[in-house]
Amino acid sequence: MSTSALLAQIDQVGRDRRRGGYSRHVFDGGERELREWFTEQARARGLDVHTDRNANLWAWWGEPGDQAIVTGSHLDSVPGGGAFDGPLGVAAALSAVESLRATGFQPRRPIAIVVFAEEEGGRFGVPCLGSRLLSGTITRDAANALRDPDGVTFAEALRGAGGDPEHAGADEAALRRIGRFVELHVEQGRGLVDLDRPVAVASSILAHGRWRFRFRGQGNHAGATLLADRRDPMLPAARAVLAARETAAAHDQARATVGRLVPNPGGTNVIASTVDMWLDARAPAADATRSLVAELSERAAEFAHDEGCELEVTEESYSGTVHFDPALRDELCASLGDAPALATGAGHDAGVLSAQVPASMLFVRNPTGISHAPDEHAEPGDCDAGGSALADVLRRWAA
């Protein structure tokens, strides 16, 4: 089955109709149905499937062994996300394995497809949670204590998804088995459109992280409280949203986004007692990301003081700049007909793994350049070109 046909199935199974929009959530609803769909598809292609203690799904062609060639991505999405971010890599992996088996190819090294858990951090707030646990870049205790907006702990969700909260965390044996990792992903930008090419190889990932700015004031009545008597945390939060853009603009190629602003308790006729503002900050150089956040924190503290409010800034996740293995990158570019190498502003499981295993990424052209929104797109022909390119890479690496 082609990559584009498998994508259509994922879209069908994963679209979370209960929530109306297009969201593939983690560990429940669409996610559980997607986990079952992937397991069925992998088994139908002769792969052995198991869930690791961190709820990542592994499908093996051959006995799990050292120096395996591993590919894969994720199936969860951001709220209201697109249909390609994550699923394209999983669909291409299934299609690539199917096409290799159809030609009678006998790999001399094990091949595996992995579906990482909670890549978007859409439920528990930490992106790439499955690959961070696997690689030990987040501890079991820190992960298990994470709570979703309904107060469900990650430990509970992990158990429900077949993971093992008591033994979650760094999985040395699993890491040792990975000889090379390659993740195919829809491009989140217009680089390939401008270059008029279907496939590219990733060169680097911006340094990026998430910080929660909690402005604390005095909850009060919207009508009975005179302006002079207010300590309204919404004001410093609003000023900080504007300052985020200004501060980022002062740093070369930096990005700062406030996509989530949550007043508590959130009543129309209530002055909030706290307002949480989440900052997503990214820049090519790690120190630029860090100084952007430090400058904004300072300004936000002044805004809070002006309104008699307090501010607490918490770092929720951070990844330094990732430079993919240059030898692997160049080899892939050459083998894919002199494909271009592109930097990306999006984080990926491949970026998390790259600190410990030879990791790489392939990008597929996205005509809209939009991602993390329903307009994200890749043409069926380019999706299938990505699947064939991935099959070639797996064949060469596992021969």
Q: Which residues would be at the binding site for ligand HGY (CB under 6 A)?
A: 119-120, 127, 346-347
Residue 20 identity (one-letter amino acid): G
Determine if the peptide bond prior to 265 is cis (ω within 30°): yes
166 is in an annotated binding site: no
- 160: three-class secondary structure by DSSP: helix
Question: Between vectors from CA 335 to CA 331 and to CA 340, what angle results, nearest 5°?
Answer: 75
Task: Give least dist CB 240 to ligand HGY, A.
Answer: 21
Given the complex with ligand HGY, which of 283 and 346 has the nearer CB atom? 346
Q: Which of 293, 160, 173, 271 is nearest to 221 (CA)?
A: 271
Is residue 348 at the binding interface for Mn ion, with CB under 5 A as the rule? Answer: yes
Task: Give least dist CB 75 to ligand HGY, A.
Answer: 13
Determine which residue in the list 85, 171, 232, 280 makes contact with Mn ion, applying CB under 5 A: 85
52: partner contacted, choices Mn ion, ligand HGY, none (Cβ within 5-8 A by kind):
none
19 is in an annotated binding site: no
Contacts of 337 (CB under 8 A, 6+ apart): none
Is residue 76 at the binding interface for Mn ion, with CB under 5 A as the rule? Answer: no
Contacts of 214 (CB under 8 A, 6+ apart): 274, 275, 276, 277, 311, 312, 313, 314
**Tokens at residue 45, please?**
């292609």
- Burial code (b: 16+ CB inside 10 Å, e: under 16) for 386-398 equals bbbbbbbbbbebb
* DSSP-assigned beta bridge partners for residue 182: 71, 360
Determine which residue in the list 171, 232, 280, 349 makes contact with Mn ion, applying CB under 5 A: 349
74 is in an annotated binding site: yes
**Tokens at residue 238, please?**
């609003």
Given the complex with ligand HGY, which of 270 and 370 has the nearer CB atom? 370
122: partner contacted, choices ligand HGY, Mn ion, none (Cβ within 5-8 A by kind):
none
d(CA 145, CA 125): 12
Task: Give least dist CB 81 to ligand HGY, A.
Answer: 9
Task: Give least dist CB 251 to Mn ion, A.
Answer: 23
Task: Give least dist CB 346 to ligand HGY, A.
Answer: 4
Residue numbers in the known binding site for allantoate are 210, 269, 282
Residue numbers in the known binding site for Zn(2+) are 74, 85, 120, 185, 372
Residue numbers in the known binding site are 74, 85, 120, 185, 210, 269, 282, 372
